[in-house]
């Protein structure tokens, strides 16, 4: 991994070494394929061939870690390919100068590196640096266009996420203090692995208090309601490939960190019931609030952002449902990542062709840009869990497990999910099929783009994986990942 980390640093540096816009884009693509490809290959090999778990003072890698690395690396590659097309078009239109392009391709590899450090970190201090690093490396991307709305979004993003991660740091330090009180030396008390093996020695009351700080702090980064307010603004104001990275993988990375903290708390308390209740509560609240915001949504990028709040809520709910819930959330993470990133890539194509993010401003898209419109529709169907999308399987498992342990809340969740499906379909059909008021002349046919190719690959993966997800070997594979955390 250290060699791959160095590749990411080279990738960032190349944005300032390259002279022309074309060179910047090509070098970013080459480094994404090299760096992202290597880490993806390594992660897949670890997952399939040798589930080796190296542990050191600084880094730790269980199967779930490799699973997260695979997701991050995959979306890094697809987002860079989509970025080449997206930034090329925006540069032609004069929206991106070469300086902004440098900032764009400088920040992406550092952002990916920060996420990889966060998922690999065993030392809690390093974990905090990685998490805060993800905020810092994306702030300039949120503010890239330097318009009033993007500056406002970036300001909210950095302030809320930094405060959240600051509160998370207090929680982590409480873990460390509990370790020191239990007799560990300071360096060992900072080690997640050591804390885990000594969990039975840690004071349950301190661990509970620490988890509350972590839930509120890292929950801000996850996008749990009511700490979610930065998310729709930031995700809707960034360039679409970055929104794909933020929604598709960053939220999952933060959720993974929260899960690790939950496991540690559960081990010290001796039961998961206490933290399960908290996760279920935040999960249901997030889904319900997202449902109401989606009901009156007027901006399709914000619609996708609120859908991310909903899916993080679903994953939170699932994490409180025991082993079945953990399996469901692992499956959910894969399909949410693939689907949401594909949807944001497609939304970028819509923005490039229609020049607006307002739902009311887009009409008859199926006729104007049939390829993009079809891909967007397929993505929306997948995200609202229409089979064969794997989200159907994961949500079916979540509802099944929920009805056994929290019947009332599961019914509320089902109602909210129905509202969300209805709202998203209504907005999508309005964009795709509403007739134009005036007569529109079609002067050119929609061209096939790199982004379309990326989205189609992701949609094929969603369908193929969705069909195979219920087979015994694939399910066992996901089960072993979910149990490894």
Partner 1 sequence: MISLSLWNNIFMGGTLLFAIVMMGMPRLPAMLRFFALSSLCLAGLIVTSSLMKGDEQPYAIAIINIVFKVILAPSILFFAARKVRASMALKFYLRPTATYFAALLVLLISVFVSLRMPGVPYLSIALVLLGLVFMMVRKDLYSQIIGFMTMENGIAAYGVLMIGGFPFMIETGILFVVITGAILMAILSRHVQELYATGDTESLTELTE
The residues of the shown chain that bind partner 1, judged by CB under 8 A, are: 123, 125-126, 128-129, 132-133, 135-136, 139-140, 143, 146, 148-149, 151-156, 158-159, 162-163, 166, 169-170, 173-174, 176-178, 180-181, 186-187, 189-190, 203, 206, 209, 233, 237, 293, 296
Of 139 and 339, CB closest to partner 1: 139
Which residue, 11 or 189, has its beta carbon nearer to partner 1?
Answer: 189
Which residue bears the tokens 């409480």? 174
Number of helical H runs and strand E runs in the chain: 22, 0
Cα–Cα dist 404/397, whole Å: 11
Q: Which is nearer to partner 1, 209 or 456 (CB)?
A: 209
Q: How far is the CB of 427 from partner 1 (least distance, A)?
A: 15
Extract the tokens encoding 219: 């929950």
Give min distance, CB of 45 to partner 1, in A.
30
- C-beta of 19 vs 146, nearer to partner 1: 146
Toward partner 1, which CB reaches closer, 27 or 150? 150
Smallest distance from partner 1 to CB 125, Å: 3
Q: How far apart are the first and last CA of the chain?
A: 20
Cβ atoms of 337 and 75 closer than 8 Å: yes
- Tell me how far, at minimum, the Cβ of 264 lies from partner 1, in Å: 16
Query: Which tokens hold the place of 278?
Result: 């908290």
Is residue 256 classed exposed, middle or buried when 0-12, 13-18 and 19+ CB atoms within 10 A define those classes? buried
User: Is the CB of residue 332 less than 8 Å from the CB of residue 394?
Assistant: yes
Other CB atoms closer than 10 Å to residue 244's CB: what's the count? 30
CA distances from 18 to 83, 103, 210, 425, 457 (A): 17, 12, 46, 44, 30
In degrees rounded to 5, what are phi and psi of residue 59? -125, 155
Element (H, E) at 384: none
Return the number of the residue (90 or 132) whose C-beta is nearest partner 1.
132
CB of 273 to partner 1, least distance (A): 22
The rounded distance, in Å, linking the Cα atoms of 221 and 76 is: 19
C-alpha distances out from residue 164 to 183, 286, 357, Å: 29, 17, 29
Torsion of CA 414, 417, 423, 425, to 10 degrees: -110
CB of 151 to partner 1, least distance (A): 5
Distance in Å, CB of 234 to partner 1, minimum: 10
Shortest distance (Å) from residue 411 CB to partner 1: 27
Least gap, CB of 50 to partner 1 (angstroms)? 30
Return the number of the residue (158 or 222) whose C-beta is nearest partner 1: 158
Task: Name the residue nearer to partner 1 (CB basis): 164 or 390.
Answer: 164
Pick the closer one to partner 1 by CB: 173 or 403.
173
Question: Which residues are CB-neighbours of 45 under 8 A, at least 6 positions away?
Answer: none
- What's phi and psi for 133, nearest 5 deg? -60, -35
Phi, psi of 165, deg, nearest 5: -70, -30
């Amino acid at each position: 991994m250290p060699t791959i980390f160095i590749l990411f640093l080279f990738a960032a540096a190349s944005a300032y070494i390259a002279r022309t816009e074309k060179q910047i884009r090509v070098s970013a693509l080459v480094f994404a394929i090299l760096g992202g490809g290597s880490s993806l290959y390594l992660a897949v090999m670890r997952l399939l061939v040798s589930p080796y778990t190296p542990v050191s003072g600084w880094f730790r890698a269980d199967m779930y870690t490799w699973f997260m690395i695979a997701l991050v690396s995959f979306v890094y590659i697809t987002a860079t390919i989509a970025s080449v097309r997206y930034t090329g078009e925006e540069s032609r239109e004069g929206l991106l100068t070469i300086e902004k392009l440098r900032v764009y391709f400088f920040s992406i590899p550092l952002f990916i590196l920060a996420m990889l450090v966060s998922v690999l970190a065993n030392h809690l201090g390093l974990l905090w640096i990685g998490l805060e690093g993800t905020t810092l490396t994306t702030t300039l991307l949120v503010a890239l266009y330097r318009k009033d709305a993007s500056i406002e979004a970036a300001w909210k993003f950095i302030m809320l996420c930094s405060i959240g991660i600051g509160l998370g740091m207090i929680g982590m330090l409480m873990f460390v203090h509990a370790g020191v009180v239990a007799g560990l030396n300071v360096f060992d008390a900072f080690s997640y692995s050591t804390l885990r093996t000594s969990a039975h020695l840690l004071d349950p009351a301190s661990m509970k208090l620490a988890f509350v700080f972590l839930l509120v702090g890292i929950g801000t980064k996850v996008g749990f309601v009511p700490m979610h307010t930065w998310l729709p603004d930031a995700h809707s104001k960034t360039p679409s490939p970055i929104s794909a990275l933020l929604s598709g993988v960053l939220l999952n990375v933060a959720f993974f960190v929260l899960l690790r903290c939950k496991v540690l708390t559960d081990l010290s308390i001796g039961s998961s019931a206490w933290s399960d209740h908290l996760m279920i509560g935040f999960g249901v609240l997030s889904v319900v609030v997202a449902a109401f915001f989606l009901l009156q949504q007027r901006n399709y990028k914000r619609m996708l952002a609120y859908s991310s709040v909903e899916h993080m809520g679903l994953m939170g709910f699932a994490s409180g449902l025991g082993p079945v819930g953990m399996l469901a959330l692992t499956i959910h993470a894969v399909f949410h990542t693939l689907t949401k990133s594909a949807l944001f890539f497609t939304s970028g194509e819509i923005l490039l062709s229609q020049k607006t993010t307002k739902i009311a401003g887009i009409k008859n898209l199926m006729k104007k840009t049939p390829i993009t419109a079809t891909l967007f529709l397929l993505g929306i169907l997948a995200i609202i869990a229409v089979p064969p999308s794997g989200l159907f399987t994961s949500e079916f498992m979540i509802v099944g497990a929920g009805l056994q342990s929290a019947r009332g809340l599961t019914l509320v969740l089902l109602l909210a999910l129905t509202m969300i499906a209805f709202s998203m379909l209504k907005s999508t059909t309005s964009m795709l099929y509403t007739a134009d008021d005036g007569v529109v002349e079609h002067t050119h046919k929609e061209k096939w783009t790199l982004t379309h190719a990326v989205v189609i690959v992701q949609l094929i993966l969603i369908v193929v994986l969705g069909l195979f997800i219920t087979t015994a070997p694939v399910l066992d594979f996901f089960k072993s990942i979910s149990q490894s955390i």
